[in-house]
Structure 1
Amino acid sequence: MDNNILIPDHVPSELVLRFNFRDDDEFRRDPWGYIASLAEKPDIFFSPDLGGYWVVTRSDLIDEVFRRHELFTATSLSIPKMVNPLKLIPNSFDPPDHSGYRQILANNLFSPRALATLEDDSRDFSRALFGAFQPGRCEFVHDFAYKLPIDIFLALMGAHPSHRDECLSWIYGIFRGRSLQEMRDGFTAAYDFVTRWLTEQLADPERNQGSMFRAMVASRLNGRALTFEEMHSITIMLFTGGLDTVTSQMTHIMRFLAESPEHRHYLLDHPEKIPVALEEMLRRFGISFIGRAAAKDFEYHGVTFKEGDPVCAGTPIAGLDPRAFPDPLTVDFNRAQGHRVKHLGFGSGPHLCVGAYLARTQIRVMLEELLPRMPNLRVTPGRTIENAPGATMMLKALPLEWDA
């Protein structure tokens, strides 16, 4: 990927700073410290990396980017910018086109009825995965975090679990691709897989008992059934939107708890506090760099944007902004005085993540099921932990030990 571009004429030289969330060694060594240091940078700056894009560093401004679709359109989500990428429903649409599709997801695919078995499935899968660990040890990323979200999702969609590894391969390319070609290859593989699988399912939809799949087939938009193209786009969105993100979040949370006995023992002694504690960890360990584009030429907080300019709104940046969260690198389960801390980990505005409940449930159940089964949990001594940069940040590997 060419990280060097000509700086556009409307970008002042004092706002040009390097920032490459897909392939910078800083993200492999100490991403959180590096991201926290952005508080000392301009509120908005321009990075010449990844084809050139704007980076927003203040939590309140990132919130505005998510909410103000008339300025920051979701019709261009990719950084680096891709020509004619897949349009994902509803993520790649602005209101009002976005609204009808989002309502379908919220009221049907992510309804209480469609997710009725989510908690029980999460517990069953978590226990089964733990049972497959070697006594007292595991490599958490590949033995658990990669598997739980996709196993649950495949069950909800009525897809055979044998598809897990194939899906993970193209999800990895989309989120962790270091070049445009790697990203394109990931999207191409996703397109081909979903085309093949969805065609097979729709040939005899009654055979598929997946609650989320059945809700999608039964959905109506303005009184009509969804077209194949719409279901195809929604299915790719579901795969790409909810798997890598949950996996990534799990890796950072488990590493933190393995390295912080005080916080871990608090959750073991007070499991009823896990939902509140989880929100603080989601704030502290934000993982997604989300793309938008300038919808038109305009000036925003003293910065000139031109139509089409890519814009990065990073949830890790928002969560570590000291102007919004004093002492942001510290995990404080009582930060909001016993209430859930408000953060942008799931975005905000029209595109607030419709799958937030699904993600929260899986991570909460993971903590409730695994922590009591892992006494004296710790990172395996002598092992170097490396972050894997990308559109979402996760750990390459997390070797854990506990007293069996």
Structure 2
Amino acid sequence: MPASATAVPAHVPPERVIHFDFRNDAELRRDPWGYIARMNDRPDIFFSPDLGGYWVVTRSELIAEVFSRHDLFTATSLAIPKIENPMKLIPNSFDPPQHTAYRKIFTQNLFSPRALRTLERDSRAHTRALLTGFQAKRCEFVADFAAKLPVEIFLLMMGCDLAHRDDCIIWVRDIFRGRTLEETTRGFAGADRFIREWLAEQLADVAANSGSMFQAMVNARIDGRTLTFDEMHSITMMLFAGGLDTVTSQMTHIMKFMAENPHHRQMLIDDPKFIPIALEELLRRFGISNIGRMAAKDFEYHGIQFKAGDPVLASTPISGLDARAFPDPLSVDFGRGGHSRIKHGGFGAGPHLCPGAFLARTQLRVMLEELLPAMPGLRPAPGAAIETLPGATIMLAALPLEWG
């Protein structure tokens, strides 16, 4: 029995018990996509005794149901292993109807066209600046670009000094890449302390902060009132924890694929207007988020008995590689959806569909538009050992690239 394993609850049928440690499994470091694709050979729902014990859903259709059925699968507990008295992040830690009112703050304020009016311009400017910093037609893409751009854009939109970028990168790494509860808690504590102090300073002189997203949060209303300090803190933590590592992780896999597949890369260089459609297939193929839910009560679901409090994993990489939903799922086919964007679960589904999807798509699109033409002959550096880091999100430890 692996060291991380725990006792199997009495309500779990023995035939449904299969080890799967999405945070520490060595196979996920060597061949994550092949390993995840083998979920097609496993039951629709099984129980892993690892990480404190949790259910794993393996079919795209059922994963979408888990995201949508908040009456059965509550978002009030998101972490696996489960954290007692977890920090509440607005709106992700709430179910409807409480979630609905807070979500409107994101869709109508923080991610409104007004708040995001400079997003593309800023993303393009920062992308070009980072590109200029690459030396001798080579880079380590994760450290030199992917870890930096999302944090820089976040700090810019919140009106926060870019000098805090490197500290933020460390906290994000611990939150998402922590291999123990202690490491993950350390990341949350560091970010929490910084955000509390920074937010108090900003609210003391609101007019001095020109960040569009910060101003949108200050001007937001819920039930006719302004947000409290605690609500603003929770929202900022949500933006920090939910929107930085995810974009970074996605960038690493997309650029690795581009470096290894010159035909696909040239298609996008020749016809950059096709990038938005191709991007959806890449988001499907390289899903990165392992998202937790918890059984809200005792109930039966697709023949499985769930008990209140059971953790449940709804994984977007598993969803995207479900062969029932996407034939030949490991292949990247930019024409898979015809002339329309392929539908996938990379940003979740239901009430918790990611409100920051446009922000993420914009940064990813700009990355491809700017970097691919500027990196002729893009390829992985010879001899580079590329390791995948599993966890709440799946990303590459490093990606040495060269071109020219």
Partner of 1:396: 397
State whether structure 2 residue 367 is matched by structure 1 residue 373: no
Quick one: distance in 2 between partners of 1:144 and 1:188? 25
Deviation for aligned residue 1:236? 0.3
Report the Cα offset of residue 92 of structure 1: 0.1
Aligned partners of 2:223, 2:195: CA distance in 1, in Å? Answer: 25
Alignment partner of 1:177 is 2:178: yes
Q: C-alpha displacement at 1:185, in angstroms?
A: 1.3
Paired residues, number: 403
> CA–CA distance in 1 between the matches of 2:14 and 2:157?
50
Q: Is the 8 A contact 2:148 2:169 kept in 1?
A: no
Q: Once the two structures are superposed, what CA deviation does each residue of 1:201-220 show, in whole Å capped at 9, x if it has no partner?
A: 11111100000000000111
Secondary structure at 2:401 match in 1: strand
Report the 3-state secondary structure (helix = DSSP H, G, I; strand = E; otherwise coil) of the residue aligned with 1:282: helix
Cα deviation, 1:28-83, whole Å, max 9, x if unaligned, reads 00000000000000100000111100000000000000000000000000000001
Alignment of 1:64-79 (within 5 A): 64-79=65-80
Partner of 1:323 in structure 2?
A: 324
Q: Distance in 2 between matches of 1:206 and 1:51?
A: 47
Structure 1: distance between partners of 2:250 and 2:376:
22
Give how far 1:295 is off: 0.4
- Residue 48 in structure 1 maps to residue 37 in structure 2: no
AA matched with 1:98: H
Corresponding position of 1:247: 248
Moved over 4 A (4+): none
Matched, 1:19 2:25: no
* Cα shift readout 1:340-363 (whole Å, capped 9, x = no counterpart): 000000001000000000000000
1:204-259 deviation digits (Å, cap 9, x = unpaired): 11100000000000111010000000000000000010000000000000000100
> Which residue number in structure 1 is paired with residue 352 of structure 2?
351
Indicate if the aligned counterparts of 2:150 and 2:247 stay in contact, CA closer than 8 A.
Answer: yes
How many percent identity over aligned positions?
Answer: 67
Residue number in structure 2 paired with 1:313: 314
Cross-structure match for 2:90: 89
- Determine the C-alpha separation between the residues in 2 that align with 1:4 and 1:395: 26
**1:106 maps to what in 2?**
107
Offset, 1:135: 2.3
* Separation in structure 1 between the aligned mates of residue 7 and residue 390 of structure 2, nearest angstrom: 25
Shift of the alpha carbon at 1:173? 1.1
Report the Cα distance in structure 2 between the residues aligned to 1:274 and 1:48, rounded to whole angstroms.
41
Name 1:138's counterpart in structure 2.
139
Q: Say whether the 8 Å CA contact 2:91–2:235 is kept in structure 1.
A: yes
What secondary structure sits across from 1:9 in the alignment? coil
Deviates further, 382-391 or 351-360: 382-391
Question: Match of 2:222?
Answer: 221
| Displacement of 1:172 | 1.0
For structure 1, which segment, 201-210 or 1-10, has the greater mean C-alpha deviation from structure 2 after superposition? Answer: 1-10
Q: Which amino acid aligns with 1:103?
A: K
Q: Within 5 Å, which residues of 2 pair with 1:131-280?
A: 131-280=132-281
Aligned to 1:293: 294
- Rounded Cα–Cα distance in structure 1 between residues aligned with 2:144 and 2:258: 17
Q: What is the rounded CA distance, in whole Å, between the counterparts of 2:31 and 2:350 in structure 1?
A: 30
Q: Contact (CA 8 Å) 1:2, 1:50: kept in 2 or not?
A: no
Structure 2 counterpart of 1:361: 362
Mapped partners of 1:194, 1:263: distance in 2:
41
| 1:323 counterpart SS class | coil
Q: Distance in 2 between matches of 1:61 and 1:155?
A: 38
TM-score with structure 2 setting the length = 0.99
Give, in whole Å, the separation in 1 of the partners of 2:307 and 2:189. 30
Structure 2 distance, partners of 1:161, 1:208, is 13
Structure 1 length as normaliser, TM-score?
0.99
Extract unaligned runs of 5+ from structure 1: none
CA RMSD of aligned residues (A): 0.8
Q: For residues 25 and 85 of structure 1, what CA distance do their matches in structure 2 show?
A: 28
Distance in 1, Cα, partners of 2:376 & 2:349: 37
Residue 127 of structure 2 corresponds to: 126
Contact 1:2–1:51 (Cα < 8 Å) also in 2? no
Counterpart of 2:124, as a letter, is R
Task: Structure 2 unaligned segments of length 5 or more: list them.
Answer: none
Q: Secondary structure at the match of 2:176?
A: helix
Moved more, 179-188 or 15-24: 179-188
